Amino acid sequence: MTRMETDFIPSPLELLTLYVESGVDEAIGDHPINRFAAKPPPVAVKAPTAKVAPAVTSISHPQPSPPQSHTSAQLAAACSTLVELRQALENFDGLPLRQTALSTVFADGNPEASVMLIGEAPGHEEDVQGLPFVGKSGKLLDKMLASIGLDRAQSAYITNVLPWRPLENRSPSLEEIAVCRPFLMRHIELVRPRILVLLGGVPAQTVLETSTGITRLRGNWQTVRLEQSDLSIPTMPTFRPSYLLRTPGGKRHAWGDFIQVAKRLS
């Protein structure tokens, strides 16, 4: 430091002029601020414009679930006519069985008839023609009906638990039966028959919700109660015609069961 510099002591006016000329023209506080200790101000984030897709998709917001298909019970309950029920079954895709069948076998006969008969499921011939009981066992069923003065076109109405043929004529699975049952029960409600005849173990166990075998059930009147529509229907379980074709000894029992039906009708 030179002597000249130390010797120069500016007057307050000179000092102020020097500050102003150097750009120091703003009064600051009495106390110093430690800028290193202060928190950095928040950085403003620009919201993406509508055209820019966000880089990361938020996973904190639940995604809306895809629409669930209606259950068979919901679909069946929504049907108020046989035409609607047939349509609902034709549109139904809730069972793989549906894809391999040629037809939806809905029913045959007269929906105004007093007697409604329920079989298990269509076989090959029924699948081809789209009608229940039109093969060999159907011919036998027609004879059994005729023996008590009924015929399928006028005085009987026929359907099955399953409207689709299980491949290789295997027995329907419990799941298939459970899915089809609401349609069947709605079918019964819409027809409101005076008497139901259950042709074999699968229809008997499905409609009566029992695990008792057909040999013990057959020949004994049961009552099917449909609470929604306040219906109580006398019901006769009997052997299925295809069983009778293989086991002719069972025919006299089935004949007896049909005679009980005829007596009740008259």
Stretch that binds ligand URA, among 4-12, 29-37, 132-140, 186-194 (CB under 6 A): 132-140
Candidate residues 79, 85, 95, 126; the one interacting with ligand URA per rule CB under 6 A? 126
Listed residue (253, 257, 242) closest to 141, CA to CA: 242
In the complex, minimum distance from the CB of residue 54 to ligand URA, in angstroms, rounded to a whole number:
58
In the complex, minimum distance from the CB of residue 121 to ligand URA, in angstroms, rounded to a whole number:
6
106 in contact with ligand URA (CB under 6 A): no
Candidate residues 120, 142, 176, 257; the one interacting with ligand URA per rule CB under 6 A? 120
Stretch that binds ligand URA, among 57-65, 87-95, 119-127, 250-258 (CB under 6 A): 119-127
Q: Which residue has the tokens 């089935």?
A: 254
Query: Which x/- pattern, by CB under 6 A, does the window 186-225 give for ligand URA?
Result: ----------------------------------------
Q: What's the token pair of residue 131?
A: 């009608």
Candidate residues 72, 110, 160, 206; the one interacting with ligand URA per rule CB under 6 A? 160
Candidate residues 242, 254, 258, 260; the one interacting with ligand URA per rule CB under 6 A? 242
User: Any idea what DSSP says for residue 71?
Assistant: P
228-238 b/e with 16+ CB inside 10 Å = b? eeeeebebbbb
Q: How far is CA 17 from CA 5, 157, 184, in A?
A: 18, 116, 105
Binding footprint of ligand URA, residue count (CB under 6 A): 12
Candidate residues 72, 107, 122, 179; the one interacting with ligand URA per rule CB under 6 A? 122
Rg of the Cα trace of the chain?
42
Contact 117, 254 (CB under 8 A): no
Listed residue (193, 215, 195, 194) closest to 204, CA to CA: 215
Interacting residues with ligand URA (CB under 6 A) = 119-123, 126, 132-133, 137, 160, 240, 242
